[in-house]
Structure 1
Amino acid sequence: MLKVAIVTDGPYGDRAFDNIKNEFDTAFIKLEQPSSMFMDDIELPEKEIKQIEDVNILITYTTHPDLTLELVERFADNVDWIIVAAWKGDGFKNQLESHDNVICPYIMCELEENGDPIFDKFTSDIGKPKVLLKLDDDKLKDIVVLRSSPCGSTTFVSEYIKEKYAGKELDKDNLPTEAGLKLQHYPCRAAKMRLFTDEECKKEMASGFHRDAFQEAITHE
């Protein structure tokens, strides 16, 4: 089974862990933020080093840039992929992505397959929302989450739609918009985690991804 490690130094990453652990063998690792001003003084605990070295996918929710850089420099040659969920500034992003197996998504629910077998195995289940509608004479029987946003908001939206339309005829014209609007009620942390972006912009992107997922599900139903 694919092994994933989620590393955090603060309040982010717990929702991703709760969601991703349902699909993959996932470890949740909490590290202390560096107290020194010098990156050379950053020391990672030996126990956590061994946990990370053994995984295929490392996801960093660390907000301290020196710690994020240390993790990338230390493990880029040991793991298949590193997904940096929290980063600040295009210069820092470019520095991190100078490693071919490091990706810094603008928002975590935009992740899609890139042709690499390991990365595609992960993003076939986690990333850009994708759902399947099961209907009986245009009445909703079930919604299958084929690919969930890392934070679990896709399930949140799907459960709302299922509860509202259970056994009822779908309003196909308005359903995608309704799904997108419902995402707005999920307490998304992406904007705060990104540190430099507008929260409404983030939520609009996440909302759009879920709207599009339900629109595609209707189109291919």
Structure 2
Amino acid sequence: MLRILALVQGHFGERKTEVWKEKGPKEWVVEVLRLKGPFPLVVEDVNEFLPPEIPLADLVISLGEEAGVLEVVPEVVRRAQAKALLLPVDNRVWVPPGLVKQVERALVREGVAVSSPVPFCSLKESDSSNPFIREFARYFGLPEVELKVEGERIVGGSVMRSAPCGSTYFVVENLRGERIQDAEEKAGLLHHNYPCLATMTIDWQFQDTLMHRAGYFVKESVRRALKGSLKR
């Protein structure tokens, strides 16, 4: 059993947690802690922003939509007695590198594993040795799909690992009937239409937008699946 505590502020986070509840293993427990902003960049008293009771968890996942949320994340992890934290970056404004390092420094010395995938759908099991992060990444992270082909068209498929937002399920479902030669490009369009909520701002690390990177991941998963299907 994996106990997940997700910190959310709105649709960006709510959509993900609903996917995890619906598509994740039945034995997972997904709790949602809804935070109300606005948050200052420096929080002097975390009790002003946190409820009196925090559910116990193995893994905390921060899906805040303000940089100030990271000011309370370490205390949430401590009160939840969690041993792992995911700080996914789908928007650098919400999750600035400096604050990520600050949170990492505070928690790693307390024995908490921290992983910060950029974007969230780049997460792989190999990114961490922590069993809770690896368990989550087995089902949600870098997309992996299988596709069934008959003749020149896709007739079915399955999701082995979905992007955390659930877009991979949407892509596979809507590729049915598509011609093989059109599938990769169609997958990219479907990903955008889901829609992807990663930022469209050019990222300094990749010289591309995080939304485009997320689109590349799902297109690559379709390319690999078709290659494997045509070999059978």
The two structures have a TM-score, normalised by structure 1, of: 0.81
CA shift in 2, pair 1:141/1:7, >3 Å: same
Aligned: 1:3 with 2:3:
yes
Count of aligned positions:
208
Cα deviations across residues 12-68 of structure 1 (Å, max 9, x unaligned)?
201101111121321122122266675222212122x1x1xx212211112333332
After the TM superposition, which parts of structure 1 deviate over 4 Å for at least 4 consecutive aligned residues? Answer: 34-38, 136-139, 195-198
Cα deviations across residues 187-216 of structure 1 (Å, max 9, x unaligned)?
222217xx8859x71221111001100111
On the 8 A contact 1:83/1:103 being kept in 2, the answer is: yes
Aligned: 1:218 with 2:230:
no
Cα deviations across residues 138-171 of structure 1 (Å, max 9, x unaligned)?
6544211110111111111111102x34xxxx42
Aligned: 1:46 with 2:52:
yes
Unaligned runs of 5+ residues in structure 2 are: none
What secondary structure is seen at the aligned counterpart in 2 of 1:123?
helix
Q: Tell me the residue number matched to 1:56.
A: 58
Match of 1:85 among 84, 88, 106: 88
On the 8 A contact 1:113/1:124 being kept in 2, the answer is: yes
Match of 1:26 among 30, 34, 44: 30
CA shift in 2, pair 1:26/1:88, >3 Å: closer
CA shift in 2, pair 1:37/1:110, >3 Å: closer
On the 8 A contact 1:72/1:82 being kept in 2, the answer is: no
Larger CA deviation: 38-47 vs 146-155: 38-47
Letter in structure 1 aligned against 2:97: D
Match of 2:148 among 123, 134, 142: 134
- Cα distance in structure 1, aligned partners of 2:40 and 2:118: 28
Letter in structure 2 aligned against 1:65: A
Unaligned runs of 5+ residues in structure 1 are: none
CA shift in 2, pair 1:10/1:138, >3 Å: closer
